[in-house]
Amino acid sequence: MPAIRYIKHADLDKAKWDECLEKCSSGLLYAHSFYLDCMAPQWDALVLGDYEAVMPLTWNKKYGIHYLYQPAFTPMLGVFATSPVSVKDFITAIPAKFKLTEISLNSSNDLRGENVPGIMRRNYLLDLSRPADEIKKVYRESHRRNLRKAIQLGCVIKTDVPLKDIIALSQLSAAPAKEEDYTRLAALFTRLQAKGQAEAIGVYGPQQQLLASAVFFRDSKRAYYILVGNDPAGKTVGASHLLIDHFITTHAGQSLLLDFEGSDINSLAFFYEGFGAEPEWYPAIRINRLPFYLKWLKK
């Protein structure tokens, strides 16, 4: 068995890295080198053999202590492999200099029975390969009512919504991202939009106010509901329902999964399930190696 090597960012072969992601059935857009370069100011990696399996290590440093964390707009990472590997071996190989690990793996990373501290988190996926009419047959009745309400009130869909407008709505949420994370996302959006892999969609009310909006990224396997912005007034008129229904209608029949990126929040889970989305479970791990006099900071 080849050894798992810790490789610093500057020494990574990114061509081989991205080739591994393309070959891996569980490969995600988030783990590609260009995505990580945009969203994670500092990242190194664990690599098995000649890039048969890889694990990004997104890190930061505070008070002289190195730690692993989950970057903004990057819900899951973990181990990506072209053939079965031991995920626990990768976790064990995380260098000791990282005193705290709080990261999310991906749904292919099975840790059952491995005695690794963490929890299971919930994502939602909707298969878009079927015709639109077939997908819509399973919509929850309350979703149908909200769609009718949005249309009756004169809400309209627009594409190519300015990203700054979506970010402004996103910042109204209960837990907005940091300003620098929005800046990084904007750079990533520009890059993906130039390749036809990013869409910015909005629902406008009869007074031309933006009520609901979203940025979608996509690769060959998934469309990612990456950035959401909602005006409080839009929640009562079915604006978000109309937005998702539009995306489903325009992408139905494609070999694509709509990835809702969560959620553990029951109200959001109810929203996603109402379109027929099904849960995908993935592990989030937490390993605290902080000195005893600092452990209380991260209990």
Is 261 inside a domain boundary?
no
103 and 192 housed in the same domain: no
pLDDT band per the 50, 70, 90 thresholds, residue 291: confident
165 and 98 housed in the same domain: no
Is 273 inside a domain boundary?
no
Residue 216: pLDDT above 60?
yes
pLDDT per position as a tens digit, 10-56: 999 999 999 999 999 899 999 999 999 999 999 999 999 999 999 99
Distance of CA 188 to CAs 41, 181, 217, 254, Å? 13, 11, 10, 24
pLDDT of amino acid 115: 87
112 and 137 housed in the same domain: no
Query: For residue 235, what are the domain limits?
Result: 129-255
pLDDT per position as a tens digit, 164-203: 999 999 998 878 899 999 999 999 999 999 999 999 999 9
Is 175 inside a domain boundary?
yes
pLDDT per position as a tens digit, 48-71: 999 999 999 999 999 899 999 999
Distance of CA 193 to CAs 169, 190, 216, 255, Å? 20, 5, 10, 20
What is the rounded average pLDDT of the residues 113-128? 93
Is 43 inside a domain boundary?
yes
Give the SS3 label for residue 270. Answer: helix
97 and 143 housed in the same domain: no
Exposure string of 119-142, with b = 16+ CB inside 10 Å and e = fewer, is: eebbbbbbebebeeeebbeebeee
pLDDT above 70 as % of the chain: 97
Question: Based on the number of CB atoms within 10 Å of its own CB, is 172 exposed (0-12), middle (13-18) or buried (19 or more)?
Answer: exposed
247 and 135 housed in the same domain: yes
pLDDT of amino acid 296: 55
> How many domains does the chain contain in total?
2
pTM of the model: 0.94
Distance of CA 225 to CAs 68, 125, 186, 237, 263, Å? 24, 10, 15, 21, 12
Is 264 inside a domain boundary?
no
Is 34 inside a domain boundary?
yes
142 and 227 housed in the same domain: yes
- CATH of residue 54's domain is 3.40.630
Please give the mean pLDDT across all residues of the chain: 94
Contacts of 50 (CB under 8 A, 6+ apart): 2, 16
User: How many Cβ atoms are within 10 Å of 198's Cβ, its own excluded?
Assistant: 19
**Is 215:227 a contact under the CB 8 Å cutoff?**
yes
Beta strand 257-259 with 222-230: parallel, antiparallel or unpaired? parallel
202 and 133 housed in the same domain: yes
User: How many Cβ atoms are within 10 Å of 95's Cβ, its own excluded?
Assistant: 12
Task: Output the CA torsion sign for 5, 9, 11, 13.
Answer: positive
110 and 165 housed in the same domain: no
Contacts of 260 (CB under 8 A, 6+ apart): 123, 124, 125, 126, 225, 268, 272, 277
User: How many Cβ atoms are within 10 Å of 263's Cβ, its own excluded?
Assistant: 17
139 and 87 housed in the same domain: no
pLDDT of amino acid 56: 98
Is 182 inside a domain boundary?
yes
pLDDT per position as a tens digit, 128-175: 999 999 999 999 999 999 999 999 999 999 999 999 999 999 998 878
16 and 59 housed in the same domain: yes
- CATH of residue 168's domain is 3.40.630.30
291 and 221 housed in the same domain: no
Distance of CA 61 to CAs 58, 65, 90, Å? 11, 5, 21
What is the rounded average pLDDT of the residues 82-99? 96
106 and 139 housed in the same domain: no
Residue 232: pLDDT above 90?
no
Is 159 inside a domain boundary?
yes
